[in-house]
Amino acid sequence: MNKRCPVVRTARFSLFLVILFLAPFLKGQDAATPWRLAEAEQVLLQNSGDLLPLKKLDTLRPAALTLWMGDHPLFESVLTLYQHTAVLQPDEEDIEETARRIQAAGYNLLIAGVNAEAVKDAIWKPGAVMEKLFTALNPKMKVVLVIFGKGELWRVLNIRAYADAVIYVPEMSETRQSVAAQAVYGATALHARLKEDLSGQFPSGAGFDAPGGLRLGYGPPELVGLNGLSLRDSLRRIVNEGIRSGAYPGAELLVARNGKVVFREAFGYYTYDSTRPVTLDDLYDFASVTKVTSALPAVMKLYGEDRFNLDAPFRQYVPYFKHSNKKDLTFREMLAHNARLRAYIPYWVGALRSSARYPWKKGWAANPVNNGNYRSRTFAADSSDRYNIRITDDIWEYADYKKKIYKAIRKSPLNEKPGYLYSGLLFLVIPDMIEEMEGVPFDRYVADQFYKPLGAYTLGFNPARRFPVSRMAPTEIDTSFRHLLVQGYVHDEAAAMLGGVSGNAGLFGNADDLAKLVQMYMNEGAYGGEQLIAAKALREFTRCQYCDEGNHRGLGFDKPLPVFDPARSYSAKDASPASFGHSGFTGTYIWGDPESGILIVFLSNRVYPSRDRRGLYQHDIRQRLHQSIYDARMDK
């Protein structure tokens, strides 16, 4: 054990660890065998109060501790994929101080991994160290103990007295570390029984059952019927083709099937100068994927609770529009983009003085606020009580400017022709509607109801309030509105003018956490043993609403075209009619297919350095990536 203070270190599941994680399994169909053996051999020996699999993640503040397992073991890295987890470094010389600091930090759960085999030559000292640690912690916090190997530790330590849950893993391979961590969170089931005595505490035949498949798991493609070699080769080739062609400087890609993540890699760099490589910890601006990952789950939840009528007129839930031309539009029509709403309103342009609406006009300079280009009561160069909505460090919006945005939406004309036209206007209004109905700010509501229970701690608005900007992929070098490189702030101008919190755009996060939300949708609202959204809501929102009118959309969600057209589609040719997803202007894409079990998350900053970059579309990157997964099926 390292003789260092018990400070928290960050466990990063880097590309190196991904390769390490998959390296033994690149030799064809036999790649799945070690995983199946690992799942079949681990034994749940104690489970007080049915602690495992862990539930109600929003109530847990976990810390992970590994003893005699080497530096940065895979076990702790996989744990951190399920929720924000502090990874601790204990001090062997002052273990009571380690326990005191753990308690002072407010953690209420300790997940400890121990290599019993590594300590057999010095068993009394490690045994004493563990006894001191667990005695100091008990009963102040719940303890999950995962012990790898047999070793004398089982006989010299009163394990039952110190741990609420105990998992025995016969060996400490990379595969077994990953599978054990997944079992803690219910991604992998526990059904085995001991084949021989471990100690008087745990005789032959001991063991309990715990369910699996409750959360996303991790494993090789062969485990879910995909050809790993074909899948990896095609995905990497297509993503790297996009980087070489200048479609985007970098990207994250995640692929899952049947609840197992089988591919997750980071590619390229933040920018084309190749100075900052993308990592799997990085956060991306989701752009319009925000619609189906913030506003839509909120509405679905209310619908599933019979508190929201899709066919009610707009004015019923948003009285501000009761005297507008939109008062009788139904939410079903608007969510399906079938309500004749205008696509978008360039709000920031409306804030400009008439003399400054064109960049080449005299007086336009690097800081438009300081040069008087905006109307009064719009923007200021510094914050104050009246200008308190932060756009950038040097641009602060007038506190009541949202009223002008709402007024612009209310006064906007309806399109003359009926039928499908993609519009973001409704999604700008939904957050205030949810806040009025639920009595809490929209960003807090979606975090409390969805992101925290999912363990998706990177998902959220205004990410710079929680994470360093250096973890966020930059989007556009904005030469029209903000006059800077947009990084850590939402790219979409309307969302920026709403304080970064909007149902239209503004959500940030990484691929892992976004995949949890999509998998919950594919599970008809269930995840981690909880029903976060009623199944009937997912069934209604993901079905095509106006197919007979030539509109292939669901409610909020996009759907495959009735007849595949490579020139118009960004979903796979083989995606089933039951599948659904969405794309985002910044170069993002999600899609889930309940029939095939296939899930894809693709994140990029294709708008860097300019939104004029069209390579993502010209090379059909998203559609080709998606189809590659279907092509890799061994069961087709």
Lowest mean pLDDT among 19-23, 226-230, 400-404, 625-629: 19-23
Domain boundary (163, 195, 215) is at: 215
Find the domain containing 245 and state its range: 227-277
Q: Measuring CA to CA, which residue among 378, 47, 351 is closest to residue 190?
A: 47
Same domain for 211 and 231: no
Q: How many angstroms separate the CA atoms of 559 and 578, rounded?
A: 8
Strand, coil or helix: what is 156?
helix
Confirm whether 245 is domain-assigned: yes
Cα maximum dimension of the chain:
87
Measured distance CA(594)–CA(15) in Å, rounded: 29
What is the number of domains present in the chain? 3
Predicted confidence at residue 360, as pLDDT, reads: 36
By mean pLDDT, which of 160-164, 210-214, 272-276, 407-411 is the weakest?
Answer: 160-164
Query: Cα–Cα distance between 538 and 40 in angstroms, integer?
Result: 33
Establish if 424 belongs to a structural domain. Answer: yes
Q: Is residue 624 part of a domain?
A: no
Same domain, residue pair 207 and 79: yes
Q: Residue 194: is it exposed, middle or buried by C-beta count within 10 angstroms (0-12/13-18/19+)?
A: middle
The answer to whether 133 and 90 have CB atoms below 8 angstroms apart is yes
CA distance 623 to 636: 19
Question: Taking a C-beta distance cutoff of 8 angstroms, is the pair 65, 113 a contact?
Answer: yes
Tally helices (H) and strands (E) across the chain: 22, 23
Last residue of a domain, one of 186, 215, 244: 215
Q: Is residue 110 part of a domain?
A: yes
What Cα–Cα distance (Å) separates residue 413 from each residue in 246, 407, 428, 583? 38, 12, 17, 26
Q: Give the model confidence (pLDDT) of 501-554 as tens digits.
A: 999 999 999 999 999 999 999 999 999 999 999 999 999 999 999 999 999 999
pLDDT digits (tens, 9 = 90+) for 246-281: 999 999 999 999 999 999 999 999 999 999 999 999
Considering the domain boundaries, does residue 488 fall inside one?
A: no
Assess contact for 508 and 464: CB atoms under 8 A.
no
Q: Which of helix, strand or coil describes residue 485?
A: strand
**Together in a domain, 320 and 427:** yes
* 594 within domain boundaries: no
pTM for the complete prediction?
A: 0.93
Residues 367, 435, single domain; the answer is: yes
Rounded CA gap, 310 and 333, in Å?
9
Position with higher pLDDT, 344 vs 270: 270
Residue ending a domain, choose from 427, 458, 489: 458
Q: State which amino acid sits at residue 165.
A: A
Q: Which pLDDT score is estimated for 535?
A: 98
pLDDT (0 to 100) of residue 161: 87
> Do 199 and 249 reside in the same domain of the chain?
no
Residue 347: the pLDDT is: 86
- pLDDT band, very low/low/confident/very high, at 99 (cuts 50, 70, 90): confident
572-589: b (≥16 Cβ within 10 Å) or e: bebbeebbbbbbbbbbbb
Residue 119's pLDDT band (cuts 50, 70, 90): low
Instruction: State the pLDDT confidence band at 565, using cuts at 50, 70 and 90.
Output: confident
pLDDT digits 0-9 by tens, 189-213: 999 999 999 988 999 999 999 999 9
* Same-domain status, 156 and 232: no
Distances (CA, A) of 3 to 68, 118, 231, 631: 12, 17, 43, 51
Shared domain for 254 and 390, answered yes or no, is no
In this structure, the strands spanning 379-380 and 526-527 are unpaired
Q: Are residues 198 and 242 in the same domain?
A: no
CATH code, domain with 197: 3.40.50.1700
Q: 120-142: per-residue pLDDT in tens?
A: 554 445 567 777 777 777 667 89
Tell me: the pLDDT tens digits for 139-159?
A: 678 999 999 999 888 888 888
Position 184 in a domain: yes
Confidence (pLDDT) at 369: 65
Whether residue 378 is found in the same domain as residue 262: no
Share of the chain above pLDDT 90, in %: 75
pLDDT band at 636 (very low <50, low <70, confident <90, very high): confident
Check whether residue 362 and residue 435 sit in a common domain: yes
Residue 163 within a domain: yes
For residue 11 the two structure tokens come to 């466990």
Same domain membership, residue 367 and residue 261: no
Are 117 and 151 a contacting pair, CB within 8 Å?
Answer: yes
